[in-house]
Amino acid sequence: MTAERSSEPILIAGGGIGGLSAAIALARQGRPVRILERGETFSEAGAGIQLGPNATRILRQWEVLERLGDDLVAPEGVSVFDGLSGARLAMVPLGAAAERRYGSPYVVVHRADLQRGLLETARARPEIEIATGFELTRYESVAEGIAAHATSGEVARGSALIAADGIASRVRKQLNPDAALRFSGRTAWRTLLEPTAVPSLGPEQRTGLWLAPNAHLVHYAVRGGRAVNIVAVVEDRWNQEGWNTEADASELLPHYAAWAAPARAALEAARSWRKWALFELAPLACWSSGTVVLLGDAAHPMLPFLAQGGAMAIEDAAVLARELARPGTPVEAAFGRYVSLRQGRTLNVQEASRRNGRVYHLAGAARWARNLVLRSRRPEALLGRFDWLYGFDPGAP
């Protein structure tokens, strides 16, 4: 069966960033798509998300970026600080510099606003059907394509299945029974504050990154500057699965007791926290089988130290749609080409993110050496280190 000949919809398990992105990319080719979302409603837990030019380039092409409007913030740069001394070590230019260099902006946005923009775009496409309350348990190949089974007993049928069902993917488990998530030894905490509550963090137009032994801190404006997203990452033993666990600040603040006053003041200003344990996954033996394929966190969970988890899912969707658009290409072949194109790229991003996590938490002489290197680098050179990442363009299908 060639990709363009089936009248059956392509099923997409999951209605998060990856699933909605895949649906939009395919619908733009005129393909019927059915999203199978486990929740009864669409709600994106979490707070902020950073989107590099490699992601915004695609979102702009899909006409999603313009829907986000005033909810977007385009920071003028990233200020890097030593968490213990409070000294500024470097500034990575973004804003106009990033747009000139890559032809697309670097933006930050609340996850719920990004989800809204994607969902509005999807709902405006007649090719996309959205089914909520469909908790997929397994799939099977049938004569006419794929049958996806839900816990309710409902069965959805389609020509193919794209699994964008996240880090705890059930489709991945069926494709790779022995694949298991591994706790990274780190936990992330998040909160949202009003800008007036955290004057110690400096200009709202800047993203902040604070580095120290065994912990780091990231903050940036979201909601058009009406809120500040704060993420604190610590080395920890707490390893429960989940993304939205309510947490007590008394567990977090001791990790930052020796930090510089501006960072401590921001952490102490928060009245509520959510936390999630950070997990990794060894490279999978199988991303695809027949007319079933994995996408986003289902295939390659990302540690958040390069801010590329969402971007990689968006890239996946664009590349997958491009391969399916090749005339006369069987679905299985298109999925195979997508896998061969994405495995190396996503592995490089995973490794770079893991490396950043180590560098952020250096102690002793290694910390001093890192700080010296950062102080010595020109801002343009620091941005240029991301050319391999932000310059990616999947091209038109």
Q: How confident is the model at residue 205 (pLDDT cuts 50, 70, 90)?
A: confident
In the chain, domain spans:
10-181+281-390
pLDDT 10s digits, 10-26? 999 999 999 999 999 99
Rounded-to-integer distance, Cα 36 and Cα 15, Å: 7
Partners of 234 in beta bridges: 187, 215
DSSP labels for 99-152? HHHHSS--EEEEHHHHHHHHHHHHHT-TTEEEE-S--EEEEEEETTEEEEEETT
pLDDT over threshold 70, residue 203: no
Q: Is the backbone of residue 305 left (phi > 0), alpha (psi -120 to 50) or beta?
A: alpha
What is the pLDDT at residue 199?
Answer: 81
Query: CA 83, 85, 90, 96 torsion: positive or negative?
Result: positive
CA angle 164, 167, 173 (to 5 degrees): 80
Task: Look up the CATH superfamily of 10-181+281-390.
Answer: FAD/NAD(P)-binding domain (3.50.50.60)
Token reading at 43 = 């709600």
pLDDT the model gives residue 244: 82
Cα(168)–Cα(158) distance, integer angstroms? 23
pLDDT of residue 286: 96
DSSP 56-115: HHHHHHTT-HHHHGGG-B--SEEEEEETTT--EEEEEE-HHHHHHHHSS--EEEEHHHHH
For CA atoms 292, 296, 239, 237, the dihedral sign is: positive
Helices and strands, number each (H, E), in the chain:
13, 19
Residue 1: pLDDT over 70: no
Contact assessment for residue 143 and residue 136, using Cβ atoms and an 8 Å cutoff: no
The predicted pLDDT at position 397 comes to 60
Return d(Cα 210, Cα 217) in angstroms, integer. 5
Residues ≥6 apart with Cβ < 8 Å to 170: 13, 136, 137, 138
Average pLDDT over residues 359-380: 97
* Residue positions annotated with a catalytic role: 220
Task: Check if the beta carbon of residue 352 is closer than 8 Å to that of residue 346.
Answer: no
Instruction: Read off the pLDDT of residues 214-228 as tens digits, 9 standing for 90 and up.
Output: 999 999 999 998 999
Phi-psi region of 38 (alpha: psi -120 to 50; beta: other; left: phi over 0): alpha
**Arithmetic mean of pLDDT, 355-371:** 98
Q: Specify the residue for token string 């933006």.
A: 107
- Over residues 51-58, the mean pLDDT reads 98
Over residues 141-170, the pLDDT tens digits come to: 998 899 999 999 999 999 999 999 999 999
Structure-model confidence comparison of residues 43 and 188, the more confident one:
188
Q: With bands split at pLDDT 50, 70 and 90, how would you rate the model's confidence at 242?
A: confident
- The rounded Cα 43 to chain-centroid distance in angstroms is 16
Contact criterion met (CB below 8 Å) for 91 and 383? no
Instruction: Tell me if 227 sits within 8 A of 194, measured CB to CB.
Output: yes
Asked if the model's pLDDT at residue 396 lies above 70, the reply is no
